[in-house]
Chain A
Amino acid sequence: MSVETLIALLYVLVLASFVGFELIAKVPPTLHTPLMSGSNAISGITIVGALICAGPLPGSFPTSKILGIVALFLATLNVVGGYAVTDRMLQMFKKKK
């Protein structure tokens, strides 16, 4: 990775962190649990990395591929379970008169 790429990625990191702080500081306490489980699902974005690692045909680097498949399993569980349970929770937040 070149220095330019690294710097560009660091820009992305710093700016995204600022956006994150700005957006999340405003979330009311009522929604803290869904926020946590929803953001937990987002952290399963490693699924993208897992796909890249699990992607190559078997043969070249079997260990890498196996690690990738296991990572894919865990990340998918994290993503699907996380979003589903967050949705289930948010469905219950209703305002009644």
Chain B
Amino acid sequence: MDRTILIQLAYLIASVLFVVGIKMLGKTSTARQGNTYSALAMLIAVVVTLLDRNVLSYTEIFATIILASAVGLYVAKKVEMTQMPEMVALFNGFGGGASVLVATSEYWRMVHDADIVMPIVTGVGVVLSVFIGAVTLTGSLVAYGKLSGKVNGQAITFGGQHPLNAVLFLGIVILSVMVILDPNNDLYMMMLIGASLLLGILTVIPIGGADMPVVISLLNSYSGVAACFTGFILNNQVLIISGALVGASGIILTQIMCKAMNRSLVSVLLGGFGQTSGSSGVAGKSDIVVKEVGVEEAAMIFDSASSVIIVPGYGMAVAQAQHIVREFTDLLEKKNISVKFAIHPVAGRMPGHMNVLLAEANVSYDKLIEMDDINDEFSNTDVTLIIGANDVVNPAARTNPQSPIYGMPILNADKSRTVIVSKRSMGAGYAGIENELFGFPNCLMLFGDAKSTLTKVVSELKSV
């Protein structure tokens, strides 16, 4: 049989494995195997491409692959689960960067080969994958910087930001048309790359920390779309199929995140949330009088409870408190107290962030309950423990139409008999709004670093 046909068939097998892999990733019991199938698909695609008769220089290729694999494996082994969001952002940026480079490389070859005239369709593919890939690259790097604390995580806004972005985007559209119509002028291409890289930076800097779940989902989608367009340049179906799968996955996650914050994608992308909310929210700062609770008293409250719900938030990740939370859970269960976790879809900095942290700490995943499934249970619960979460339990989202988070679906933590909030200080949540829950008669504040206070609660509980 013709070698080309064999190659095409192998690509087909790889595509099927990608689809099956993604399908299996949707169930906890099969997810790990699904990921293996997907990796196998990738391996097939790589081996088959290497057998292609156009690939001749194996030395550099193998050296590069071995080096990059070693780095990749090292990073994947070393990374802390709390650092997952920034690592995904970083890898995502690399994917986008690879798309830009592949597109540019193909463009360069065609433009400088006198025998080839770059077809318009290829030109369209080149500009789209350069544009989307470059935005993914720099956008993801900025997101990485913000998530890892290397760059100010707050929303950075300045006057004329939106007009500037609009002008830049218009410039990119014009440059794209120029590249397609006059591919032989390298200058247009370079300006297109530069402008797209800049736009990636400018679109992510105004987006604040807690909007990050939306941003990384969206950038994830972009990296797939960029790969997809690269497939159009190279006339390669496996790139198109897997790129489309990733694109779809990112868009769905983006939608879920937006819905969980009751915000439109446009308002997230325009950024600057929480910067101007000083005048709204609960009237006056001093209205809220909180009741503090000490470690011993908190331990006693837990000890006399028969049901406890824990609401984890980003603060738990920051304090690295997931392991002590697990120990706490085990201890309560030993005392025949039922413990469940209520997971808000946007808790943390990426979709499913809390689930991964608690899985790392060995909490069984059937104890982690989604918002809609657990919200009715709060009213029958003795104690709700909130660890480092704030806006996702703010009753203002239900009651106060003036509040910037009004309408956002929240966990009904306030409905339980007692609420204990583990929090570092009285600082407002990311949205910059006060949480009236903290002043409720059934709410007690347990101030201090989540990890150290919980450790103390655990040792108190042991002695009760």
Contact = CB atoms under 8 A, between A and B. Distances in A.
A46 B95 contact: yes
B33 to A, nearest CB: 9
Given A40-B88, A86-B35, A91-B32, A13 B362 contact: no
Interface residue range, chain A: 35 or more
Given A39-B22, A56-B56, A69-B64, A74 B350 contact: no
Interface in A4-54: 5-6, 9, 12-13, 16-17, 19-21, 23-54
Interface stretch (B167-175, B221-229, B265-273, B290-298): B221-229
B82 to A, nearest CB: 12
Contacts of A42: 18, 22, 38, 42, 224, 242, 245-246
Contacts of B240: 9, 12-13, 16
Interface of A: 1, 5-6, 9, 12-13, 16-17, 19-21, 23-58, 61, 63-65, 67-97
Given A39-B246, A67-B108, A89-B81, 9 more contacts: A1-B122, A1-B235, A34-B35, A41-B91, A42-B245, A52-B234, A55-B57, A64-B106, A83-B35
B249 A49 contact: no
Contact of B228 (A13, A78, A85): A13
Given A34-B356, A80-B69, A28 B238 contact: no
Given A29-B345, A35-B253, A42-B242, A54 B38 contact: no
A66 B243 CA distance: 24
B244 A81 contact: no
B84 A76 contact: no
A52 B356 contact: no
Interface size class of B (residues with CB under 8 A): 35 or more
Nearest to B244: A16
Interface in B364-420: 364-366, 368, 370
Given A48-B236, A55-B55, A89-B359, A43 B102 contact: no
B53 to A, nearest CB: 9
Contacts of B187: none
B4 interface: no
A8 to B, nearest CB: 9
Contacts of A36: 88, 216-217, 220, 249-250, 253, 350-352
A77 to B, nearest CB: 5
B325 interface: no
Secondary structure at the B interface, as helix, strand, loop or mixed, is helix
B46 A77 contact: no
Counting chain A CB atoms within 10 Å of each CB, which of B95, B121, B242, B251 scores highest? B95
Contact of B121 (A1, A40, A63, A97): A1
Given A44-B98, A74-B97, A64 B108 contact: yes
B327 to A, nearest CB: 14
A37 B77 CA distance: 14
Interface in B175-230: 216-217, 220, 223-224, 226-228, 230
Contacts, number: 374
B303 to A, nearest CB: 23
A28 B226 CA distance: 26
22 contacts: A12-B241, A20-B22, A20-B246, A24-B245, A25-B252, A29-B352, A32-B256, A33-B352, A33-B356, A37-B91, A40-B95, A41-B42, A42-B38, A42-B224, A46-B227, A49-B99, A49-B230, A55-B61, A68-B105, A69-B64, A81-B76, A92-B362
B25 A74 contact: no
A29 B121 contact: no
Contacts of B149: none
B464 interface: no
A80 B29 CA distance: 23
A53 B76 contact: no
Contacts of B241: 12, 16
Closest 10 CB pairs of A and B: A20-B248, A32-B352, A81-B72, A55-B55, A32-B351, A71-B101, A84-B76, A76-B68, A80-B72, A33-B352
A60 B456 CA distance: 68
Interface in B242-294: 242-253, 256
A51 B55 contact: yes
Given A44-B98, A78-B95, A29 B355 contact: yes
B98 A13 contact: no
Contacts of B228: 13
Contact of B98 (A26, A71, A84): A71
